[in-house]
């Protein structure tokens, strides 16, 4: 359930003619091109002021049966679940069943040796607790499912040191939100899933949203997207194919940092409710959607379950991404202008992108800049002329050029592979890092340009 950094590998596409297209056509062109490059497989919803301006599905929900995605397909949300965990805590505070400044140990006394860490610290990722996944990798019997109480038991047994003191700094923590999930259960005397169902999902009529652990407690969900990752040969597989000792399998019983499952439509109901007082009031939302400062004066840029930022043109933005077991998810709300972006994907690979910045530009009728070159579509065999390992005396890195179907991939020594977009004159680019490769296939050389 690690939160995905929002600097994703977004390739340059051909956007010629977008100025003459409608907003919906521009969005469809964007996602159609990404799907063709195997960079997007999932569902999209874009809305303005409560009206859905674009909603569409791209690709398959089930590779084995050929079942296609549709807007009603259910996806695992991964870390997008954290906003629901945070809301559960807010509602318990409103119900008088806990206080934000209660010490974590009030509800989890086994961890009283961690001292002054509070619920508020856990919500803001300023608690300083170590990563539970590393603890399980070292000490857990991987033939068994883990649940939230097992996190407590392992931490109580091994007493891993804190990473920093409470509120000393911000560091994203799955441990904190898993413990918040357990605190919800202890304070409400209900299971995490039932508390969210009774207090969020049912009141908002989110009929297709549930806390679902597909391995720990499987059930039949007809319209469900399975999550796929590539195996060593690049074939799409479920993470379960890696065996029951793989972390996404044995950690499947843990909730709070993930495990909420939902649809485009239900997430849109959630978005609309957050503009009202159905669940919480303005005072509550001031906590949920605002950053705080750590003791050294740095902004966390994180509220209660939402990343928070301010843009000169787009205004206040709150969003969250997620990635787990083949799912890549994202929700973004432009609070000042009432715009919403929801992206749910069930393929995760080196080619996968999260094009939220391009969607923003389309929503604000901005031009998506190209690099002045004409984009070209190449077949897999067209890329063979560029493949190989490139090196130069005095240059510290080697560049390995390979292909993934019809996408040229570049990997520098000690770095991850990145997908390149193809343009005329044997030119390939990766715009997020301002990288350009210009090949001379006859001489078997390449010019590497980055920035200026």
- Residues assigned a catalytic role: 79
**Adjacent-strand bridge partners of 37:** none
Distance CA 253, CA 150 (A): 10
R_g over Cα of the chain: 23
Structure tokens at 143: 């033939």
Q: Phi-psi region for residue 219, left (φ > 0), alpha (ψ -120 to 50) or beta?
A: beta
Question: In terms of DSSP H, where are the helices of 80-118?
Answer: 82-94
Residues 6+ away with beta carbon under 8 Å from 180 = 85, 86, 88, 89, 119, 122, 123, 256
- CA-wise closest residue to 425 among 384, 385, 373: 373
Q: Tokens 């787009």 label which residue?
A: 314
Distance CA 265, CA 250 (A): 30
DSSP string, 238-249: EGGGG-TTSHHH
Distance CA 240, CA 221 (A): 18
Distance CA 247, CA 236 (A): 18
Q: Tokens 């597909």 label which residue?
A: 214
Q: What H or E segment, with its residue span, contains residue 409?
A: strand 407-412
Residue 391: other Cβ atoms inside 10 A: 12
Distance CA 269, CA 264 (A): 9
Distance CA 230, CA 45 (A): 26
């Amino acid at each position: 359930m690690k939160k995905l950094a929002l600097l994703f590998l977004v390739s340059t596409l051909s956007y010629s003619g977008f100025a003459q297209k409608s907003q919906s056509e521009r969005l469809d062109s964007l996602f159609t091109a990404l799907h063709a490059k195997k960079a997007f497989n999932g569902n999209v919803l874009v809305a303005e002021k409560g009206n859905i301006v674009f909603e569409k599905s791209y690709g398959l929900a089930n590779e084995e049966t050929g079942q296609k995605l549709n807007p009603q397909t259910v996806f695992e949300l991964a870390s997008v679940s954290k906003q629901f965990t945070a809301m559960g805590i807010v509602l318990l505070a409103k119900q008088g069943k806990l206080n934000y400044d209660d010490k974590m140990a009030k509800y989890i006394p086994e961890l009283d040796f961690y001292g002054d860490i509070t619920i508020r610290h856990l919500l803001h990722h300023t608690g300083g607790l170590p990563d539970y996944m590393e603890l399980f990798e070292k000490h857990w019997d991987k033939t068994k499912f883990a649940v939230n109480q097992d996190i407590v038991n392992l931490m109580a047994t091994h007493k891993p040191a804190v990473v920093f003191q409470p509120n000393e700094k911000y560091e994203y923590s799955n441990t904190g939100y898993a413990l918040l999930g357990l605190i919800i259960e202890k304070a409400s005397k209900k299971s995490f899933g039932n508390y969210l169902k009774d207090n969020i999902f049912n009141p908002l009529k989110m009929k297709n949203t549930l806390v679902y652990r597909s391995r720990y407690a499987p059930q039949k969900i007809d319209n469900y997207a399975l999550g796929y990752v590539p195996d060593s040969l690049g074939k799409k597989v479920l993470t379960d194919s890696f065996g029951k000792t793989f972390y996404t399998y044995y950690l499947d019983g843990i909730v709070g940092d993930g495990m909420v499952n939902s649809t485009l439509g239900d997430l849109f109901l959630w978005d609309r409710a957050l503009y009202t007082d159905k669940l919480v009031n303005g005072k509550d939302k001031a906590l949920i959607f605002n950053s705080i400062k750590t003791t050294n004066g740095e902004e966390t840029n994180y509220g209660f379950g939402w990343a928070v930022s301010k843009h000169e043109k787009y205004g206040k933005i709150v969003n969250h991404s997620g990635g787990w077991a083949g799912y890549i998810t994202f929700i973004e709300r432009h609070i000042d202008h009432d715009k919403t972006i929801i992206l749910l994907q069930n393929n995760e690979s080196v080619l996968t992108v999260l094009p939220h910045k391009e969607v923003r530009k389309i929503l604000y009728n901005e031009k998506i800049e190209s690099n002045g070159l004409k984009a070209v579509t190449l077949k897999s065999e067209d890329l063979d002329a560029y493949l190989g390992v490139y090196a130069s005396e005095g240059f510290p890195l080697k560049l390995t050029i390979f292909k993934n179907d019809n996408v040229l991939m570049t990997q520098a020594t000690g770095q991850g592979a990145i997908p390149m977009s193809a343009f005329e004159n044997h030119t390939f680019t990766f715009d997020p890092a301002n990288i350009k490769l210009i090949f001379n296939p006859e001489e078997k050389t390449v010019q590497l340009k980055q920035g200026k």
